[in-house]
Amino acid sequence: MRRVGFIIFPGYQVMAFAAVSAFEVANQQAGKPVYDVHFLSESGGLTQTSIGLSIGSEAFDDTPYDTMIVGGGGEIVPATPGMISFVQDSVERCRRIASICSGAFVLAEAGLLDGRRATTHWIYARALQDQFPKAKIEQDRIFIHDGPIWTSAGMSAGIDLALAMIEQDLGAELARMVAKKLVVYHRRSGGQSQYSALLELEPKSDRIQSALAYAKKNLHTPLTVPELADAARLSPRQFSRAFHAETGQSPARAVESLRVEAARLMIEEGQHQIDVVAQHTGFADRERMRQAFLRAFGQPPQAIRRNARAAAVIE
């Protein structure tokens, strides 16, 4: 049975506990205890979370663990010397060490991210990179594992990290069963973007939402303004005005964002040639897709594919 330790501290964010559920359900689906989960804190006893809920914990000691996970807090605060020392000592006692959300700052303070690829919640990624320049922070990733060090983005990304661990330990089928029981997508790959073009557009009316949903389903087509207006049940002129008022963008720019998002996912999956990706996502040719990628990411599609392949080799 694999012993898993969750390091908690005052102000620990409750959402990070979602990852615990994945290990709990893995025990249920396996039909036997395969994970033994413990909550750990510097002093032991009750530890108050960011929402005021108190959780019982065991004090740090030299017990060996298979996996040690540091969650995040409601805000970034320096880790105590005791926590840093415990995390550093865990390198010798654990097969893998992980962080969820801003817990990456603790790993970084302990020196565990030096020279390694890592991620965190996109809100904190720039600060993490600036504060710890030896780390290689990739802010647009759900989770990353570079050798024995695992890091994830914030909030629900901890579930993706836990599912990836379960898959590594017990196989893809059991991880799929756990994901199904948790009613989550099985599973978002670590390389998937933290961002969503539809979320960033934030349309307010049902009509504009319908037009965007139509666009996402029909990216392989030209998607003209009259066509989108028809999906929204508005005249082209009314549609253009309403679209810009609700999203702050023109329909053409929004559609390009949706195309780029879909194309990037296909390219990172690596199953299709660049020309095929361009056609499938509605770019007239690979050069137009290249220009769109440069505008969005500052890199051409080929560079993003190389990075995805390099990351797969490391992981």
Exposure on the CB side of residue 260, measured as CA atoms within 13 A: 27
Domain-ending residue, one of 157, 182, 207: 182
Q: Is residue 188 part of a domain?
A: no
Residues 178 and 57 in one domain: yes
Q: Would residue 192 count as lying in a domain?
A: no
One domain, residues 15 and 151: yes
* CA-CA-CA-CA torsion sign (238, 239, 245, 248): negative
Residue numbers in the chain where pLDDT is lower than 50: 190, 314
C-alpha separations of 251 from 109, 193, 222 in Å: 44, 22, 12
Task: Tell me: do 173 and 214 sit in the same domain.
Answer: no
Q: How many CA atoms lie within 13 A of 26 on its CB side?
A: 28
> For position 258, which CATH number holds?
1.10.10.60
pLDDT value of position 298: 79
Q: How much is the pLDDT for 192?
A: 52
Give CA–CA dist 210/172, Å, rounded.
35
Residues 175 and 29 in one domain: yes
Residue 44 resides in a domain: yes
In terms of domains, do 28 and 174 share one? Answer: yes
- Spatial contact of 21 and 34, defined as CB atoms under 8 Å apart: no
Amino acid (1-letter code) at residue 72: G
The 8-class DSSP code of residue 14 comes to G
Please tell me whether residues 308 and 270 are part of one structural domain.
yes
Give me the residue label for tokens 């509605």: 282
Q: Residue 76 domain-assigned?
A: yes
pLDDT for residue 77: 77
Residues 6+ apart with CB under 8 A from 291: none
Query: Which string of DSSP letters, residue by residue, matches 234-295?
Result: S-HHHHHHHHHHHHSS-HHHHHHHHHHHHHHHHHHHT-S-HHHHHHHTT-SSHHHHHHHHHH
Q: Do residue 201 and residue 177 come from a single domain?
A: no
Q: Based on the fold, state whether residues 100 and 217 are members of the same structural domain.
A: no
- Domain span at residue 253 reads 197-314
